[in-house]
Chains A and B, each alone.
Chain A
């Protein structure tokens, strides 16, 4: 069963069209919602939560219509918004427990799960500190704990690495990956950073100008044209000449050879050329486009 399904979803804010007929499916696992700032990502999250109604089209979240079953949908969703402003004078544990209670958990369970969630995000020792005394990275993790504590079926994370330094960012992305894989919670990660999506997500929905320009499994989208990428330990030009002589079309990119065409034919030719020239092969892999290539191709 898909987690979120949108059909020709439209949303306008005054004269601005935020979403113009977005059709997409978000499957189980970790899905990236990718787009430049203003592409409609936050608007889409708001629609998924049932905070606003679409001007056209329909949306199904966890099998329910968020416009008519908003409270039931939101009960099963954890949401960490983009901003990191939280009440400064409230202790992290009190805040997470309160939000777990608001999501329907009885007090005793909310208390226990708030502690668990704060331990999971690495703030176990800091859980009784006021949020206002915490760093940006810690506040981001408090938000994540608050979104996690009530055991949601779906976690919506809006730019969760905003304001984090590289180390904190790595740690946050590891945590998100763990939530999707070990905790068994489906995650939608909204971000404008390609490398984050590429690192963490199984699937991606790419938004541009309010439209879904590409969607699907990351591996499928990146596969692109057939071919191989070969890294060698030796004379690149000699190898390139040999392969061209064997009828292959290729480009040289530093120590790499990017070969077009059927992968099995190319692989055989590379093996034969390497043996003939006595050149070592460092890496032979299927030709994959980067997410940036996919994004640029889709957006254009």
Chain B
């Protein structure tokens, strides 16, 4: 006869340390990053994030390949390699797709599936909950705003087609960082603000894309067709961050009549405005009634 026995351990109290609100923020931010990227989820949930990342990195891989395979003389004559800020022109669609995906995924889902109530019944409060969400969305957007130009920089440098010397490399590196922050900050705020207005992910995603398109089409029409003041372009959510990126690289941009300071102020105003909408919505949200 065997001596094996099933031992019921019973309930074990936990007497170890607890990580408090900071730990809760870290845990929620990391969980949100995984959700936004479709990780630990169904294959369907992975398709769009992976597609966006592929679209964002593919041109960089192609340009690095061109730099490796095509001789420098031919490259320079044909001007085949983009500038670092010009690279964003190739990946705008990926950035917009990502912006429209990430915010709704990390915010709308929590309200729709009841997780918000469970989170706010933990050491998190509304402010720390939203802070965790911002901490999640910023780096995820950085994956398509910062990552591809960095891959381009490193790839071109290795292929001997990068900036001149360490100083040049460092300057481009810093500019890429600043450009990534400018684009990610504005679009994180926009994405989260739009997602705070509806529980439905699809509606939020469509709203984000429509907001970007409509502000762009409307301002361009006013300036190009109706002869309105160019400063009205500061209302264009496509224009402001990407024009500011041009200035970061020392390029006068498409509308040199708009001062860099005005662009920076518009960027700040858009980001702060979207953040205010987000906070207002969550402050008013009733969790238990």
Contact = CB atoms under 8 A, between A and B. Distances in A.
Interface residues of A, number: 45
Interface stretch (A67-75, A164-172, A255-263, A283-291): A67-75
A81 B113 CA distance: 12
A98 B113 contact: no
Interface of B: 9-14, 16-21, 23-24, 27-28, 31, 40-42, 45, 109, 112-115, 117-125, 128, 286-289
A141 interface: no
Contacts of B24: 101-104
Question: Which 9 A-B pairs have CB atoms at the shortest separation, nearest pair first?
Answer: A46-B288, A104-B18, A151-B14, A79-B121, A71-B123, A101-B27, A85-B114, A183-B11, A102-B122
A74 B117 CA distance: 12
A94 B287 contact: no
A65 to B, nearest CB: 15
Contacts of B20: 71, 75, 104
A105 B114 CA distance: 22
Contacts of B120: 49, 51
Contact of B288 (A43, A72, A90): A43
A278 interface: no
A46 B287 contact: yes
If over half of B's interface residues share one DSSP class (helix, strand or loop), that class is named, otherwise mixed; here it is loop
A42 B45 contact: no
Contacts of A90: 40-41
Nearest to B24: A102
A98 B31 contact: yes
Which of B16, B27, B112, B114 has the most chain A CB atoms inside 10 A of its CB? B27
Contact of B114 (A70, A83, A184): A83
A30 interface: no
B279 to A, nearest CB: 17
A106 interface: yes
A57 B114 CA distance: 29
Contacts of A71: 20-21, 123-125, 128
A103 B123 contact: yes
A49 B40 CA distance: 30
Given A99-B122, A109-B14, A51 B113 contact: no
A75 B122 contact: yes
A116 B42 CA distance: 25
A89 B45 contact: yes
A107 to B, nearest CB: 8
